[in-house]
């Protein structure tokens, strides 16, 4: 069939029977020869057949790596920092926080009205230190996932960035596009 002719009934059925499924990428550290601090995660990934702890697969769009912080240790517990990423040729505001010893990154754009979560001061946590909070309308997000747990955009999710430490520096290397439970896993 050429691109100008209509599909026959059997060709149309064949197309409908094979839906397009996005390719699931392994984590950015899965094939590195020297995983460093990611060694335990790499081993768990390999042993589980491509799933992360919690039974989650994710799809990542790689970006040109951006050095967020020269010394990752300078981002203390419950602290945040702002930086810029370029996605599809557009410069976007982003942030990183350290929560319970792990660094997480997100686009700095609330799901409610697309406003930044902070007032430009990199203060993202609430006083109880259990949620990221939008300073404009009070939307509350889980620091580990970006899921909105309370507020005007409950059920929404912040866009998660992939952060990694390389030789002591903190780098942003991609955008996490989708998180899905692995088949047979409970979320």
Please indicate whether residue 74 or residue 29 has the higher confidence score (pLDDT): 74
Average pLDDT, the chain: 75
Mean pLDDT of 44-48: 36
Half-sphere exposure of 53 (CA within 13 A, CB side): 6
pLDDT tens digits for range 147-180: 999 999 999 999 999 999 999 999 999 998 765 5
Mean pLDDT of 16-27: 38
pLDDT tens digits for range 29-41: 434 333 333 443 4
Q: How many CB atoms lie within 10 A of CB 135?
A: 16
Q: According to the CATH classification, is domain 60-181 in 3.20.20.140?
A: no
Mean pLDDT of 32-51: 38
Identify the pLDDT of residue 178: 64
pLDDT exceeds cutoff 80 at 139: yes
Identify the pLDDT of residue 21: 36
pLDDT tens digits for range 78-97: 999 999 999 889 999 999 99
pLDDT exceeds cutoff 80 at 77: yes
Gap between the Cα atoms of 87 and 81, Å rounded = 19
- Residues of the chain within CATH 2.102.10.10 domain(s) are 60-181
Please indicate whether residue 86 or residue 13 has the higher confidence score (pLDDT): 86
Mean pLDDT of 17-45: 39
């Amino acid at each position: 069939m050429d691109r100008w002719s209509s599909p026959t009934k059997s060709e149309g059925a064949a197309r409908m029977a094979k839906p397009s499924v996005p390719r699931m990428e392994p984590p950015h550290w899965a094939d590195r020869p020297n995983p460093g601090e990611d060694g335990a995660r790499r081993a768990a990934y390999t042993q589980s057949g491509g799933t992360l702890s919690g039974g989650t697969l994710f799809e990542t769009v790689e970006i040109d790596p951006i050095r967020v912080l020269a010394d990752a240790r300078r981002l203390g517990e419950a602290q945040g920092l702002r930086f810029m990423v370029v996605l599809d040729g557009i410069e976007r505001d982003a942030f990183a926080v350290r929560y319970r010893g792990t660094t997480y990154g997100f686009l700095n754009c609330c799901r409610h009205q697309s406003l930044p979560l902070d007032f430009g001061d990199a203060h993202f946590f609430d006083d109880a230190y259990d949620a990221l909070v939008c300073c404009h309308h009070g939307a509350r997000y889980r620091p580990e996932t970006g899921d909105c747990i309370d507020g005007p955009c409950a059920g929404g999710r912040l866009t998660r960035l992939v952060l990694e430490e390389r030789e002591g520096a903190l780098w942003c290397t991609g955008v996490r596009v989708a998180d899905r439970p692995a088949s047979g896993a409970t979320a």
